[in-house]
Chains A and B, each alone.
Chain A
Amino acid sequence: MPLTTRLRAALLAGTVMLAAAAPRAGWADEQYFPLQSYRVGPYAAGGTGFFGGFIDYLNLINARDGGVNGVKLTWSEGETQYEVERGVEVYERLKSRPGIAAWNPLSVGIAYAMIDRITADRVPLVTINHGRTDSTDGRVFPYVFPLLLNPYSETSGIIQYLGTRAGGLDKLKGKTIAVLYHGSPYGKETIPIYAQLAERYGFTVAQIEVPHPGNEQQSQWLTIRRLRPDFVVLRGWGVMNPVALKTAQKTGFPADRIVGNVWSNSEEDVIPAGDAAKGYVAITTQASGTAYPVIQEVVGKVYGAGNGNLADRKRIGSVYHNLGVLNGILNVEAVRIAQGKFGARTLTGDEVRWGFEHLRLDEARVAALGAKGLFHSINVTCANHEGEGRVTFQQWDGAKWTVVSDWIAPDWASLRPIIEASATAYAKEHGLTPRDCAAEEAADAAGKQAAAAAR
């Protein structure tokens, strides 16, 4: 039976190959980052930039410092094309490798599908600048870290900034703001927050949906034209962003009164719009450009040695690349902080989680890391997994982004009750008991004291 034999042989070979995801046993002192990257498909430009920056930074730490306190950083990639089921497949494939530090999918959908899985497997999930808002509440989501900025803080940050543009938050009264959002769960997430802030500050908000993928926006912008808003907030995604800017120009709305959110803030969003994007402003958690010592080191020590990840060196210092580098800094520092408690060795996911939960980088530490001006600071605690990230605003001049605002602190205090209510509902639905953060912190402090006394 030649055919069946051949078929069987092929199947066997396949199973062997699928099982080849098995660990490379016996390598002590390595910390592994599984990467669910996306380098093809509609969002490939963001994926190559972000994962390129992340890998560049891991390379820098290995090349410059020989790893984190001698622990070598390793990684491998699985392509997801930004699709949830591929992300899940990559998770299942890579999750059995030893020494996993954290997962960094940079995809809302994949992140959601992983929450149950990583909680069961006890490994941290980092969703920098995106992800599930209520996972900010670390009491209910111990393993999930929406570092720096969740969607609600982003909304608050944008309104704070528009307040400064208007000459004070109180001056927003009577103004009209249009929010143009992508027709997806992601786009809709901030609708109630904008409504709430409109009520508080007395401005009128019109929230207008653009159906996916957003390659035609004539009617939305005509509606905006009739509305004559003072500002338009662009909560876009992929191709929707350049089309929005182009159509704004076409309908005579000035670009400098359009403010983009974190998924509308990259070079890929403005370059296709050409001149129409000149003057456009967008929020960011990290400045772009190569002027920062850490980026200079990436250029010198990684790209100089021919190990750079970006195919096109011109993209070094771009928004997504710098976000990737920043993500690298946060991951590496979490590992370093955890090593301080558990020792300089390969850590378990739970131990790295502790590190993330104590990820406190003040401005001095940020400067020491060579990232002064790249980002402001972060202060993650047991209860607050976002970490009070500051935001800034950048303006596109046709060739590059220039920072045009201070570091702005979103109004976290007023958002916190909404987040807690949502997290509590989640806990109830899933039969979880929220952690007692005060007690854990006290225990931590007591442990530290005991260690000091023993010394």
Chain B
Amino acid sequence: MDALPRAAPRPHLPAGALGLGALLVLAYGIVPLTGTSYLFEALLTPFLALALAGLGLNLLTGYAGLLSLGSAAFMAVGAYAAFNLSLRLPGLPLPASLLLAGFVAALAGLAAGLPALRLRGFYLAVSTLAVQFFVAWALNRIGWISDDSPSGVITAPRLVVAGLSFDDPRGRYLVSLTVVTLLTLVAWRLVSSPTGRNLVAIRDNETAARLVGVKVARTKLLAFAASSFVIGIAGALWAFAYLRTVEPAGFNLDRSFQILFIVIIGGLGTLRGAFLGAGFIVVLPLLLARLGAALLGDGFDSGTLEMVQRIVLGALIVALLIREPAGLAALLDRAGRRLGRRAA
């Protein structure tokens, strides 16, 4: 922390700093000791990767107010960049290749952000679809990106940091957790810096922001780059730590929507929102499925169950948006305030 330049006045720690500390102790201390392989492999690792992607998109959509439907493409860029970096530069340590992959994704984000200088709203959103489909096409079309593998599906390299192998469920979880923690910290510094306030100013009123001297074009591009950087690393985690294969199909439009869901459900413009939203989107369907299976028995038609679950999930999303359009973060805040009042 101290190595970071202190150009910005150090922001106050949020009131929940204690809770945050407790959460970190839980995540680093208790979970790794008590968790099962299912918990790591099927719940926590994808949760962390998607939460990180949500965090990245929140920088763009939540803070800067720019809507993007191309998040999965940036995840793909990050994943494939990390793969190629570790393939072609064999000595490169994993943290470095993740970081560089983030920068490659940031470059892609810059390019994708150019239309944002002229377009807004849904026009911008649909223009990011161009990125989504172009990247999918390029990954499929250009052979060297997937090392000329005939099937186009490549196996991710093993997770080794500083000679230590993290190639087991717990290790993969810890690597993801560390990456997510560090990037969350960086994102928190960013949004509480003057740049972060500029982002919000553009979101709230672009003309006014311009009047008070915010460099609108530069800030918008910065938002795209920073957001894609984070999303790219999330993509690398998704591929390396979770699926352990890299293929274009997993980074499709549905994934982009999923990430947008995470941000909206969790709460736009809050860092917590991404985690809450990811919890909702990743864990809730599994809980619903287990609940259904538990109620109806093992032999029940899994297809029917899935469709009921889809209906319930859709209805829950709508209900949540009606009840609290500002997302789960706001819902929790309100609950917290109510608790505080009652305690007082």
Q: Which residues of A contact B (CB under 8 A)?
A: 1, 3-4, 14, 17-21, 37, 39-40, 44, 47-48, 76-79, 81, 83-85, 88-89, 92-93, 96, 108-109, 112-113, 115-117, 132-133, 183-186, 188-189, 192, 211-212, 422, 429-430
Report if B330 contacts A (CB, 8 A).
no
Which of A19, A20, A88 is close to B41, meaning CB atoms less than 8 Å apart? Answer: A88
Which of A40, A89, A116, A185 is close to B248, meaning CB atoms less than 8 Å apart? Answer: A185
Cβ–Cβ < 8 Å partners of A77 in chain B: 302
Interface centre among B39, B289, B301, B303 (most CB of A within 10 A): B303
- Tell me the nearest residue of chain A to B143, going by C-beta: A188
Pairwise interchain contact B46-A85, C-beta atoms closer than 8 A: yes
Pairwise interchain contact B150-A422, C-beta atoms closer than 8 A: yes
Pairwise interchain contact A17-B287, C-beta atoms closer than 8 A: yes
Which of B38, B152, B245 is close to A189, meaning CB atoms less than 8 Å apart? Answer: B152
CA distance A109 to B250 in the complex (A): 9
Closest CB-CB distance, B152 to chain A, in whole Å?
3
Pairwise interchain contact A89-B140, C-beta atoms closer than 8 A: no
Pairwise interchain contact A39-B247, C-beta atoms closer than 8 A: no
Report if B315 contacts A (CB, 8 A).
no
The 6 closest A-B pairs by CB, nearest first: A39-B303, A185-B152, A92-B42, A17-B290, A77-B302, A79-B306
Cβ–Cβ < 8 Å partners of A14 in chain B: 283, 287, 290
Q: Which residues of B contact A (CB under 8 A)?
A: 36-39, 41-43, 46, 136-137, 140, 146, 150-153, 155, 242-245, 247-250, 283, 286-287, 289-291, 294, 298-299, 301-307, 310, 335, 338-339
Pairwise interchain contact A39-B243, C-beta atoms closer than 8 A: no
CA distance A429 to B283 in the complex (A): 35
Cβ–Cβ < 8 Å partners of A20 in chain B: 290, 294
- Tell me the nearest residue of chain B to A74, going by C-beta: B298
Closest CB-CB distance, A315 to chain B, in whole Å?
14
CA distance A14 to B287 in the complex (A): 6
Which of A84, A89, A108, A117 is close to B286, meaning CB atoms less than 8 Å apart? Answer: A89
Cβ–Cβ < 8 Å partners of A188 in chain B: 140, 150-152
CA distance A109 to B154 in the complex (A): 10
Cβ–Cβ < 8 Å partners of A115 in chain B: 155
CA distance A109 to B289 in the complex (A): 22
Pairwise interchain contact B244-A116, C-beta atoms closer than 8 A: yes
Q: Given A21-B38, A76-B299, A84-B245, A40–B290 Cβ distance below 8 Å?
A: no
Q: Given A79-B303, A79-B306, A84–B249 Cβ distance below 8 Å?
A: yes
Pairwise interchain contact A184-B301, C-beta atoms closer than 8 A: no
Q: Can you report 9 residue pairs joining A to B where beta carbons are below 8 Å apart?
A: A39-B303, A78-B302, A88-B42, A88-B243, A89-B42, A92-B41, A117-B244, A185-B247, A192-B150
Q: Given A21-B38, A76-B298, A92-B41, A184–B152 Cβ distance below 8 Å?
A: yes
Q: Given A84-B250, A184-B140, A192-B150, A18–B43 Cβ distance below 8 Å?
A: yes
CA distance A79 to B288 in the complex (A): 12
Pairwise interchain contact A40-B38, C-beta atoms closer than 8 A: no
Pairwise interchain contact B250-A185, C-beta atoms closer than 8 A: no
- Tell me the nearest residue of chain A to B168, going by C-beta: A120
Pairwise interchain contact B306-A39, C-beta atoms closer than 8 A: yes
Pairwise interchain contact B137-A211, C-beta atoms closer than 8 A: yes
Q: Given A17-B294, A89-B42, A112–B247 Cβ distance below 8 Å?
A: yes
Main secondary structure of the interface of A (DSSP, over half): helix
CA distance A48 to B299 in the complex (A): 15
Apart from A40-B310, A88-B41, A189-B151, what 12 extra A-B contacts exist at CB < 8 Å? A18-B38, A76-B299, A84-B247, A84-B249, A88-B42, A92-B38, A92-B42, A109-B153, A109-B250, A113-B244, A183-B137, A430-B155
Pairwise interchain contact A84-B243, C-beta atoms closer than 8 A: yes
CA distance A78 to B42 in the complex (A): 13
Pairwise interchain contact A85-B242, C-beta atoms closer than 8 A: yes
- Tell me the nearest residue of chain A to B283, going by C-beta: A14
Which of B283, B290, B298, B339 is close to A3, meaning CB atoms less than 8 Å apart? Answer: B339
Closest CB-CB distance, B23 to chain A, in whole Å?
14
Cβ–Cβ < 8 Å partners of B304 in chain A: 39
Interface centre among A109, A115, A211 (most CB of B within 10 A): A109
Pairwise interchain contact B289-A79, C-beta atoms closer than 8 A: yes
- Tell me the nearest residue of chain B to A84, going by C-beta: B250
Closest CB-CB distance, B298 to chain A, in whole Å?
5
Closest CB-CB distance, A415 to chain B, in whole Å?
12
Cβ–Cβ < 8 Å partners of A1 in chain B: 339
CA distance A326 to B66 in the complex (A): 52
Cβ–Cβ < 8 Å partners of B152 in chain A: 184-186, 188-189
CA distance A113 to B244 in the complex (A): 6
CA distance A81 to B249 in the complex (A): 13
Which of A18, A40, A88, A89 is close to B307, meaning CB atoms less than 8 Å apart? Answer: A40
- Tell me the nearest residue of chain B to A48, going by C-beta: B303
Pairwise interchain contact A133-B150, C-beta atoms closer than 8 A: yes
Pairwise interchain contact B153-A93, C-beta atoms closer than 8 A: no
Closest CB-CB distance, A154 to chain B, in whole Å?
13
Cβ–Cβ < 8 Å partners of B43 in chain A: 18
CA distance A83 to B250 in the complex (A): 8
Pairwise interchain contact A109-B151, C-beta atoms closer than 8 A: no
Cβ–Cβ < 8 Å partners of B245 in chain A: 84, 109, 112-113
CA distance A20 to B297 in the complex (A): 12
CA distance A203 to B39 in the complex (A): 54
Closest CB-CB distance, A99 to chain B, in whole Å?
15
CA distance A250 to B204 in the complex (A): 52
Cβ–Cβ < 8 Å partners of A44 in chain B: 303
- Tell me the nearest residue of chain A to B238, going by C-beta: A85
Pairwise interchain contact A184-B287, C-beta atoms closer than 8 A: no
Closest CB-CB distance, A33 to chain B, in whole Å?
13
CA distance A21 to B247 in the complex (A): 29
Cβ–Cβ < 8 Å partners of B250 in chain A: 83-85, 109
CA distance A429 to B247 in the complex (A): 18
Pairwise interchain contact B153-A108, C-beta atoms closer than 8 A: yes
- Tell me the nearest residue of chain B to A120, going by C-beta: B168
Closest CB-CB distance, B133 to chain A, in whole Å?
8
Cβ–Cβ < 8 Å partners of A93 in chain B: 38, 42
Which of B37, B242, B299, B310 is close to A88, meaning CB atoms less than 8 Å apart? Answer: B242
- Tell me the nearest residue of chain A to B304, going by C-beta: A39
Closest CB-CB distance, A430 to chain B, in whole Å?
7
Cβ–Cβ < 8 Å partners of B242 in chain A: 85, 88
Cβ–Cβ < 8 Å partners of B41 in chain A: 88, 92
- Tell me the nearest residue of chain B to A17, going by C-beta: B290
Q: Given A20-B294, A109-B247, A79–B339 Cβ distance below 8 Å?
A: no
CA distance A1 to B342 in the complex (A): 9
Pairwise interchain contact B42-A17, C-beta atoms closer than 8 A: no
- Tell me the nearest residue of chain B to A41, going by C-beta: B306
- Tell me the nearest residue of chain B to A44, going by C-beta: B303
Cβ–Cβ < 8 Å partners of A112 in chain B: 151, 153, 155, 245, 247
Pairwise interchain contact A185-B302, C-beta atoms closer than 8 A: no
CA distance A115 to B146 in the complex (A): 18
CA distance A85 to B281 in the complex (A): 13
Cβ–Cβ < 8 Å partners of A19 in chain B: 36, 38
Cβ–Cβ < 8 Å partners of B306 in chain A: 39-40, 79, 81
Closest CB-CB distance, B147 to chain A, in whole Å?
9
CA distance A183 to B36 in the complex (A): 38
